[in-house]
Structure 1
Amino acid sequence: MFGRLMPPLRRIVRSASTMRPVGTKDDRRDRADGPALKGAATTFGANPVRWLAARGRAAPHVLRADKLRDAGDSVSAAHAYEAALRIDPGRTNLKVQCGNMYKDAGVLDAALRWYESALEDRPDDADIHLQVGHALKLAGRRSEALAAYRRVLALDPANRHASWELVQAGDVDEQLRGISAQTTGHGLETMLSMAAEIEAMRRKLAEIGAALPDISSLTAFPAKAYRHFRQIFDVPSPASLDLPSELPHLFVVADASGLDASALHRLLASIVGQSATRWRAVVLNVEPTLLVAVERLARTDDRLEAVPAAREGSGRTAVLDLVREVETDAVVFLPPGAAMHRHCLAWLAAGFAGSQADVLTFDEEWVVPGEGEPSSFEARGGLDPEMLLQENSWGEAIAVRKATFDRLDLDGDDAAPLPKPSALLLAAVRADASPGHVPYPLVAFEGDENARNIARRNALPDHRQAVERHLRLCGLRERVAVSGGTDGEPLHLEWQAGLPREQITVIVPTRDNAEDCAGFVDSLFAKASRPEALRILIVDNATTARSDLGGLEALAGRKGVRILRDDGPFNWSHINNLAAATSDTPILVFANDDMRMLSSAWDEMLRGLLARDSVGAVGAKLLYPDETMQHAGVLFGWKGSVIHDGLFEARDAPGPSGRWSKTRRVGAVTGAFMALRRADFLELDGFDAIGLPIGYSDIDLCLRLRAAGRDILWSPDVTLLHYESKSRGLDHLDAERAARGGRERALVETRWGAEVFSRDPTISPIWIDATLPYRLISFPAPQRALEFIRLTSRARRAGTESAKSTVACE
């Protein structure tokens, strides 16, 4: 019988170049039999009969594997494919299928081994590299996953799957490449034309505009493509908003110090070109030779006047008197070089009319000299008094209600023509004024990036002077050590701890991870300013490995370390509540076991911040092993939920408005490292061990602290390396954990309401949440912008309106 089969087999071998193997769905992607025959030659020598016989013997295993795969039994399918490969090891497509099945089952090391074996056969197969990227992404190896996706695009530039993964990961180069490709293919023009038509229809349907999705989200641009973005999109008018028919009157005080003829004309054109009509403007310190430029316009518009530079009494005192005497609803201060957008005053009037804000800040943009379109921008969030002590990140152009301005303590010996912006904002903080933020660039400056950096450095000495006066007026000068403010760096404030130095207990749950836990404990003691006042309470949650039990026993013998045993199912909230109940130190720190402390004197920094009555909890900067950021506070409202701020950014990246380099208020901090007073923890009954046993209980506790009138702070002064979930693995790879995580997320969002999880006052709505934060931009719709003004004006205190932050006055 075998002899009768030989002629057909020879014919089959002779036609091998046109033959395609059969079997799994992925077999259709096999590159004909060229690579397969190459593998067969390696395995079976030059004998095609043995190759075909092996393929025949492997076929039942392949068929069985296909059925198991289609039934959803990934692990059994992987074993069946492996059985086929033991018989027919040259089947690259089966190696890929093994990788796919192990990937689906969450056995990622095995998946990657099979993908690597497949790549040895086909090193330039873009599809295999794509699967490698997916597996690395699931394993949390982000930088390697991105490298795999970039390799895919190098092999297959049109691969939309790899491109989308990079865009979702916030890869700026791929986002810019996408915009360039759309422009080249005329797809962008078509999309923008459609968006313009929809926008026109939307204006006609203004009464239901608030219920429509933002058209802007369909046309988001990479932040680095701001110049192209502004060539197409402009700041919208607030005319469609439902506001009182008579809007507030605005008094503009513009400083023309040092402006040449071109800059002065630019300023004047921006004033007289306003879409709002209820305003008056005075231009200070105009060079005498340029006064004619103002007078020429003032002949036909009596709302405009000028004060020459040489006029006696044109200093700050005279300006304050002028502003306090004028009849107006609000005052707008413009620094030298600022030119207003044509809707600037309209938006400021709308902001005051549509919210309870006493002070309005807004975004800025810059135009490179000689160019017409803005090339860069600064999108700010709501005013944070904590950040303001370190640097004024809200600009020099500020609007203030007249009634609020009249009660600000701005008198001093400073002879500048306008109140310094830092002094003005800090005076507003002392007066407990409510600051709102308009999320549009309402003023523009000329200058490149170097000019911006110079202006920022030049502002720091005045800012330090304003901060020191503020601390003195608030009676806080002895409690804060101020340093820095030179070489372009913001001020650094170190809050002093009380005496005697309070003891700190660090609570560390662990399971079968004694080596990492011991390394973490070592780093805590080594980096502490007062290691003798440090207590480490390790909660052993059912460790079984003999080596780890020995390691924990050794830890228990160390001074300042105690072991608490808990053998029940893992319940993060219960474990930490149990440990807190057995502690007696004034300060508690909840921490993961898979970390390393990097900051010296971290304990003293926490003592100082928690010595302030207004502070409820403090979080730290957490870094991945590749030294990119894992946590710089928690952002609310990102894709309707929460996300870590600063995720995957470089360790020393400052972030928008320097937010990752400054201690600041945040909505919440992660329980991977969270410090708070034990009294506050017990008063709020700790973590929710019933409703939120593992996830979101840290978010919930932060929200309860905020409801009690406490601030949640994040500080880069405490930085740790975090390996993330080494003890427990990753929740998304376990079905039960994933289901529990979804339930906990739904519970906490229901408990606190959709409003809390839909917006964050610290981040401008110009940032689009289609990818990681701070990657894509689009101007928000007018109604959403007004909602942000209202949100930020309400956010000066997270809890009771009567409570005052320590950074204001005690």
Structure 2
Amino acid sequence: MNHPNGGRPGLAVRLKALGDALSRNIKDARRSGIGPLRMFLIAVRALRHGPREFARRAVKRADSLTLTTALREQVPEAVAFDYVEWIDRQAGPVVASSDLGRISILMPTCNTPPTFLREALDSVVAQEYANWQLCVCDDASTDAHVREMLEAYSARDPRIQLAYRRERGGIVAATNEALELASGDWVTFLDHDDVLRPDALGAVVARLDAGADVVYTDHDCLSEAGVRVSPYFKPDWSLDLFLSQMYLGHLVAFKTSLVRSVGGLREGTDGAQDYDLVLRCVLAGARIDHIPSVLYHWRQHANSTSANASSKPYAHDAGKRAIQHYLDQASPGAEVQDAPMTFCYDVRYPVASGTRASIIIPTRDRIDLLDPCISTLVQLTEHGDYEILVVDNGSQEPATHAWFEAQQAAGRVRVITADVPFNWSLLNNLAAKEATGDVLVFLNNDTEIVNGDWLERLMENALRPSVGVVGPLLLYADRTIQHAGVVVGMGGWADHVFKGLPPVHAQQYFTSPMLRRNVLAVTGACMAIETSKFERAGGFDESFIVCGSDVELCLRTHHAGLLNVYVPEACLIHHESKTRDPRAIPDADFVRSAEAYAPYRTDGDPFYSVNLDPMTCVPLPRGWNQ
């Protein structure tokens, strides 16, 4: 078995990233009127946290500046968007209209600041769904106010039950002791400094009672000033995103019987105990559901990961161990590695020696595009076992045919002649029948390879038994995003989310474009699928002439129960124009797309969010401009 090497970027790469980040930060400071002396004092203050934390903060702030600048340029009106005003206008979730059973809230405490603890307790007492039980286990707090406040609340409300540890055991031990108190049909977790929305429990109970085993909701954060900020509108269950980042966050609720059947929280997972628990529930076959409503407010403060990702470095390593524990059972041979970003991960899957890829590239003349496509592919691609099939659809120029002859003579490509009227689906299907590879890669002639492991990345995911179609990150020539996954229904049809934005790791309303995730579809400009799956699906639908059949194939694999995956670790340049003339698309393609894309055009794409505006490629809240 060949297994790719990976890990964090090399020192030279990281130093260059830091240098670029510092340059962007200095330019922004100058624009804001900050002089050299003040900059120096700010840097000295930041260095008190250590050089590693200084570098992390500098890069994070620079990425945020890059994204903000791009948003200002693309959607200038969005800069003035008022989230607090917007969220107050949103309809609430469906909640339980009657008593469906008890839900137990597990809350470990340890020297919680009094204001934070009081607000957490008050948010439970204020729940509109009354059949709850709050199970608190204090982990040997030394601050006297913690016990005093807990006792006072418990005396007023018998639904609040308490346990005290004599010795500090950590969050797993304290939460498991709280679980021992639980008598509810369902359990959920509340951090001792966070706040529930009043309808939170009613919403999750209604969804759990409908048959889900695990339910998660959207969340936002409470700033240190107590203002609601940074909402995270999550997709429906996305295994690949979850293996890249613990995106469920808060609020997450479970069937109590499921939690107990998998052994509760696992010792040694402190800091990632909920991550590990969900993964073990997945292994147990849990059905996971999502409520797209902000029902949990995660508090930001210096010791919270919501505000400072490096406040709990042990949690990153615990998350990595939790993922590996899952992979050892679900995907033997797979290995989790560190992604460049804290609390993010990079799962690598083995590719058997001798596994071949067939790279299919339709073209008609345009050697000015095809030659750099083939040259960068041959020069950079690290996976050695592949063939290139160029589908010649009526090339007329002598230089093109001379190029074909030279390339074939050198053994670089095999040219397949297709003297038929242009039909993108037909051309690719013809070549697929002549391909000898285990994986088919359909590639536009106007692309260029960026990173050497692009093919290995696509292949290792396409070969997973649970996966259908796989697509990479595509960048325009100016290095902004051209493709980071297709949202079906976006723009009324289907479009590329994040299009035109910088390829930086930043979460603004939706997930980061630099994290692997499941999608309904990827673009046919570069997509990979295992040959046997392509054949079972029946290939591309040839009733589509120019466009639409790439998305339609992805929808067929999705409906067949397979996962389609966007893989940003594979990156190519795509020289497509940033605007496409819809007049070049035949009416028949619109008709077929309308048929194939239903019901997602009206009901939304489950891997996006109903809270986000489907008419813009930039993730912004629905109705942001009203």
TM-score (norm 2): 0.80
The match for 1:331 is 187
1:160-239 maps to which residues of 2 (within 5 A)?
171-176=74-79, 222=81, 225-230=82-87, 232-233=88-89, 236=92, 238=94
What amino acid sits opposite 1:732 in the alignment?
A: P
The match for 1:306 is 162
Shift of 1:267: 1.1
Question: Relative to structure 2, which stretch is displaced further, 246-255 or 519-528?
Answer: 246-255
The match for 1:482 is 336
Cα separation, 2, equivalents of 1:607 and 1:772: 28
The match for 1:663 is 516
- The question of whether the paired residues in 2 share the 8 Å contact of 1:527 and 1:602 is answered with no
- SS of the counterpart of 1:764? coil
Shift of 1:687: 1.0
Given candidates 547, 555, 561, the residue that maps to 1:695 is 547
The match for 1:82 is none
Pair 1:419–1:612, CA change in 2 (3 A): closer
The match for 2:30 is none
- The question of whether the paired residues in 1 share the 8 Å contact of 2:120 and 2:192 is answered with no
Shift of 1:597: 0.8
Cα separation, 1, equivalents of 2:343 and 2:272: 23
1:346 aligns with 2:346: no
1:713 aligns with 2:561: no
Cα separation, 1, equivalents of 2:170 and 2:424: 64
The match for 2:61 is none
The match for 1:585 is 437
Cα separation, 1, equivalents of 2:521 and 2:220: 30
- The question of whether the paired residues in 1 share the 8 Å contact of 2:133 and 2:182 is answered with no
- SS of the counterpart of 1:366? strand
1:677-756 maps to which residues of 2 (within 5 A)?
677-689=530-542, 691-724=543-576, 730-734=580-584, 737-749=585-597, 753-754=598-599
What amino acid sits opposite 2:411 in the alignment?
A: K
Cα separation, 2, equivalents of 1:412 and 1:579: 51
Cα separation, 2, equivalents of 1:528 and 1:383: 33
Shift of 1:519: 1.0
- The question of whether the paired residues in 2 share the 8 Å contact of 1:227 and 1:376 is answered with no
Shift of 1:280: 0.8
Cα separation, 2, equivalents of 1:315 and 1:279: 22
Identity of aligned residues (%): 24
Cα separation, 1, equivalents of 2:269 and 2:404: 66
Given candidates 388, 391, 394, the residue that maps to 2:245 is 391
Cα separation, 1, equivalents of 2:387 and 2:302: 48
Pair 1:321–1:310, CA change in 2 (3 A): closer
- CA-to-aligned-CA distance 1:469-523 (integer Å, 9 cap, x gap): 22234462xx22322157626111221101x221211111111211211110111
Pair 1:719–1:316, CA change in 2 (3 A): closer
Cα separation, 2, equivalents of 1:344 and 1:507: 50
Cα separation, 1, equivalents of 2:475 and 2:328: 36
Shift of 1:530: 3.4
Cα separation, 1, equivalents of 2:345 and 2:252: 22
1:360 aligns with 2:208: no
Cα separation, 2, equivalents of 1:442 and 1:456: 25
1:783-802 maps to which residues of 2 (within 5 A)?
none
Cα separation, 2, equivalents of 1:494 and 1:695: 32
The match for 2:55 is none
Cα separation, 2, equivalents of 1:396 and 1:535: 46
- SS of the counterpart of 2:280? helix
Shift of 1:423: 0.8
Shift of 1:641: 3.1
Given candidates 283, 295, 300, the residue that maps to 1:447 is 300
What amino acid sits opposite 2:604 in the alignment?
A: R
Pair 1:396–1:503, CA change in 2 (3 A): same
Structure 1 unmatched runs, 5+: 1-165, 178-221, 780-810
The match for 2:484 is 632
Shift of 1:596: 0.2
- The question of whether the paired residues in 1 share the 8 Å contact of 2:222 and 2:300 is answered with yes
Cα separation, 1, equivalents of 2:237 and 2:260: 21
1:523 aligns with 2:376: yes
Cα separation, 1, equivalents of 2:298 and 2:595: 47
The match for 1:258 is 111
The match for 1:509 is 362
TM-score (norm 1): 0.63
- CA-to-aligned-CA distance 1:445-484 (integer Å, 9 cap, x gap): 33269953524662312211211222234462xx223221
What amino acid sits opposite 1:722 in the alignment?
A: H
1:18-33 maps to which residues of 2 (within 5 A)?
none
The match for 2:324 is 468
Cα separation, 2, equivalents of 1:283 and 1:322: 6
Cα separation, 1, equivalents of 2:428 and 2:461: 22
Cα separation, 1, equivalents of 2:269 and 2:458: 40
The match for 2:421 is 569
Cα separation, 2, equivalents of 1:439 and 1:410: 26
Shift of 1:402: 1.7
RMSD: 3.0
- SS of the counterpart of 1:767? coil
- SS of the counterpart of 2:308? helix
What amino acid sits opposite 2:218 in the alignment?
A: D
1:271 aligns with 2:127: no
The match for 2:449 is 597
Cα separation, 2, equivalents of 1:474 and 1:625: 39
Higher RCO (C-alpha 8 Å, min separation 6): 2
- SS of the counterpart of 2:457? helix
The match for 1:791 is none
- The question of whether the paired residues in 1 share the 8 Å contact of 2:458 and 2:528 is answered with yes
1:774 aligns with 2:619: yes
- The question of whether the paired residues in 2 share the 8 Å contact of 1:638 and 1:758 is answered with no
Cα separation, 2, equivalents of 1:743 and 1:563: 33
Number of aligned pairs?
549
The match for 2:34 is none
- CA-to-aligned-CA distance 1:616-655 (integer Å, 9 cap, x gap): 2211111111111111111123355322122111122444
The match for 1:55 is none
Structure 2 unmatched runs, 5+: 1-68
Given candidates 387, 399, 407, the residue that maps to 1:555 is 407
Given candidates 291, 294, 319, the residue that maps to 2:150 is 294
- SS of the counterpart of 2:179? helix
- The question of whether the paired residues in 1 share the 8 Å contact of 2:105 and 2:190 is answered with yes
1:421 aligns with 2:324: no
1:759 aligns with 2:604: yes
More helix per residue: 1 or 2? Answer: 1
Cα separation, 2, equivalents of 1:742 and 1:609: 31
Cα separation, 2, equivalents of 1:460 and 1:397: 20
Pair 1:259–1:169, CA change in 2 (3 A): closer
- SS of the counterpart of 2:244? coil
- The question of whether the paired residues in 1 share the 8 Å contact of 2:219 and 2:233 is answered with yes
1:600-619 maps to which residues of 2 (within 5 A)?
600-619=452-471
Question: Relative to structure 2, which stretch is displaced further, 276-285 or 303-312?
Answer: 303-312
1:495 aligns with 2:352: no
- CA-to-aligned-CA distance 1:732-779 (integer Å, 9 cap, x gap): 244xx3423322322423xxx425762222222221224334123469
What amino acid sits opposite 1:395 in the alignment?
A: G
- The question of whether the paired residues in 1 share the 8 Å contact of 2:272 and 2:322 is answered with no
What amino acid sits opposite 2:76 in the alignment?
A: D
